[in-house]
Structure 1
Amino acid sequence: MNNANGESPSNPEGERLQKVMAAAGVASRRVCEDLIYQGRVAVNGEVVDAAGRRVLPTDRVTVDGTAIQLDTTKQYVMLNKPVGVVSSMADESGRPDLREFTRDYDERLFNVGRLDANTSGLLILTNDGELAHVLAHPSFGVMKTYIAKVEGIVSAQTIGKLTKGIELDDGPIAADKARALGRASGNETMVEITLHSGRNRIVRRMLDAVGHPVIDLVRRQFGPLNLGSLPVGRTRDLTKAELGEVLTIARNADVQS
C-alpha cells in the first residue's frame, strides 16, 4: 500500500526508484518515471509500474531485463594486459604485476581470472566478488575468444580436431568454436579459438597438442566484452551497456544456482 505521497513503505530508508535509475545513468529522472509507468522496470524480479517505490543498494533493478548498477562503490574496469605482466596484485618474484594499472582507482581492485605472462589482451578488474566468480568459473559457461599466431599452416582437419575434442594430460578438451583466419607471414597462421574452459594455459596447450605451437596470443573477448581498440597497457571503465550485460549474466547465474 502506498502512502499519501505515492511511496511504498517497504523500504522507507531507501531512495526513490526513478532517482536511483537516473543516478545510475539510465536516463533523466522524467524518462525513468516513464519507463516505470510502462512496466519496463523490475525490482528483485517484480515489475514496478508506479513511481515512488524506494529501493536499497542491495536491491536488484532491471530495465527491459537488463541489470543496472545501484552500488556505486563497485568498480568495473577493462585492461588490455601487456605481455610480461603477471595476473597478480603482488608478485612474490618481483615481476611486473597488475598494481601499476589499479593504483589510480579509489577501490581495491582484483583481476577476474588470469592471463599468463606471455599472453596479452582483455582482463577485467573489479571489486565485485559475485560478478568475478560467475565470469571466471567455467561452470557458468562464459565464453572467451583468443586470436593466436601459430607455427605452420593450419588445415581444416586440424580445426576439426580442436572443435571435436583432444586429449590433454589433465583430461579431454574441445573448443566451442575455432577457425583459421589465414596466413600471418611465411609459415605461420592466425587462428581464432572460443572456449569457456578456465584451465591453465589451455589455448597454448591445445594448439601445441595439434602440432602448431603458439607464437603470440591475445584474448579479444570475454563474455559480451570486446577489447576493441583499447591500446595495450591501457584501462577504461566499462560502458553502461557493457556493465548491464555482465551484471545480467551474474544475476541470471545467481537465480539459476
Structure 2
Amino acid sequence: MSDHLHPEGDKIAKIIASHGLCSRREAERWIDAGRITYLGTPLLDCAQRIKDVESIRVDGKPLPTKPKLSLWLYYKPKGVITSHKDPQGRPTLFDQVRHLGDHVISVGRLDYNSEGLIVLTNQGPMARLLELPATGIKRTYRVRVFGVLSPDDIAAIKDGVLIDGVQYQGADVVVEREEKSYQWLRMTLIEGKNREIRRLIEHFGGQVTRLIRTHYGPFSLGTLEPDQCVAVDPAFVERLCRELHADELL
C-alpha cells in the first residue's frame, strides 16, 4: 500500500517535504535533530505516520501552506555542481536558479563535468517519484568517447555489467558517429547510478570527454541553452501526475 493511501496518515518526513520546506532526506535529519514536534512533543521516529497535519511544528512554527506543484527544466552547464553548497566555492545549480524560490529540489543529479537536462520541482515527493527506478523513467545521454568501443563492448553494456562488485543494468546504446579516435554514443538508462556512464565507458578502455543529458522521461532538452530554465506547462504536470497515479501531489 502506498503512503498516500495509508489509513494512519503519511510519514512525517513525507509531509514536511510535501509542504516545500526541504527534501524528505533533509526532513529526516531535522527529525533526528529534534526540530519537529507534534502536539508539543518532539518527534524522533522518521517512520511515524500522522493524519493531523495542523498539529505539526517545525522549529515551533506551523507548516506553510502546501505549494502548488511546479516543475522546471534547466540546462545545467558543465562546471556547475548539483548541490546547495560547495566547500570549494564552486558555482552550484541552486545559485543559478535562486529566482525560483528557496525550496526548489532537483530530480537526480549531474556531476560537475556533465551537462544537460535537470528537472526541478518544488515538492520532495514528486522528485522522489521521478527518481525511483521502480517508476521506470528513462534517462538519455549523448556521450563523446575518446577511444572506440567494439561491438562486443557495446553488446556487453546492453546486457548489463558487474564492475567492482556493483551490478549495472543493461543500457541501450546507439553509435551516432564514429571516427578513428572517438565515438558519439546515445545511451539510455533507467537506474542512473552515480557516474554510471563514465564507469561503464572506462571499464571498456574508453574515456568520456563530453556527457550531455538530453532527455529525462517525457522531458527533453530541446532548444534550451546552457543555464536557461523554463517552466513546464501546468496542464502537462497534471497529466504526468495522473499517468504516474500520483493525483495526491496536485
TM bracket (short chain): 0.5 to 0.7
1:176 equivalent to 2:160? Answer: no
Equivalenced residues, count: 183
Q: C-alpha offsets along residues 104-159 of structure 1, whole Å, 9 cap, x if unaligned? A: 12452121111100010110111111210111122322110111000122332222
Partner in structure 2 of residue 201 of structure 1: 195
SS at match of 1:251: coil
Q: C-alpha offsets along residues 24-51 of structure 1, whole Å, 9 cap, x if unaligned? A: xxxxxxxxxxxxxxxxxxxxxxxxxxxx
Separation (CA, whole Å) in 1 of partners of 2:69 and 2:114: 27
Partner in structure 2 of residue 243 of structure 1: 237
The alignment's TM-score, normalised by the length of structure 1, stands at: 0.65
Separation (CA, whole Å) in 1 of partners of 2:247 and 2:145: 35
Separation (CA, whole Å) in 1 of partners of 2:109 and 2:75: 12
Aligned-CA RMSD value = 2.2
Amino acid at match of 2:76: K
**Which moves more between the two structures, 120-129 or 149-158?**
149-158
Identity of aligned residues (%): 28
Pick closer, same or farther for the CA change 1:250–1:170 going to 2, 3 Å. Answer: farther
Partner in structure 2 of residue 151 of structure 1: 146
Pick closer, same or farther for the CA change 1:180–1:241 going to 2, 3 Å. Answer: farther
Pick closer, same or farther for the CA change 1:211–1:253 going to 2, 3 Å. Answer: farther
1:122 equivalent to 2:117? Answer: yes
Separation (CA, whole Å) in 2 of partners of 1:250 and 1:107: 26
- Where in structure 2 are there 5+ consecutive unaligned residues? 1-65
Partner in structure 2 of residue 189 of structure 1: 183
Pick closer, same or farther for the CA change 1:207–1:102 going to 2, 3 Å. Answer: same
Pick closer, same or farther for the CA change 1:99–1:209 going to 2, 3 Å. Answer: same
SS at match of 1:153: coil
1:141 equivalent to 2:133? Answer: no
Amino acid at match of 1:223: G
**Which moves more between the two structures, 214-223 or 239-248?**
239-248
Amino acid at match of 1:82: P
Larger radius of gyration: 1
Amino acid at match of 1:129: G
Pick closer, same or farther for the CA change 1:253–1:243 going to 2, 3 Å. Answer: closer
Q: Quick check: 2:70–2:234 contact (8 Å CA) kept in 1?
A: no
SS at match of 2:99: coil
Pick closer, same or farther for the CA change 1:160–1:252 going to 2, 3 Å. Answer: farther
Separation (CA, whole Å) in 1 of partners of 2:233 and 2:180: 39
1:213 equivalent to 2:232? Answer: no
Separation (CA, whole Å) in 1 of partners of 2:166 and 2:94: 34
- Where in structure 1 are there 5+ consecutive unaligned residues? 1-70
Q: 2:227 aligns with which of 224, 233, 250?
A: 233
Q: Stretches of 4+ moved more than 4 A in 1?
A: none
Separation (CA, whole Å) in 1 of partners of 2:69 and 2:117: 19
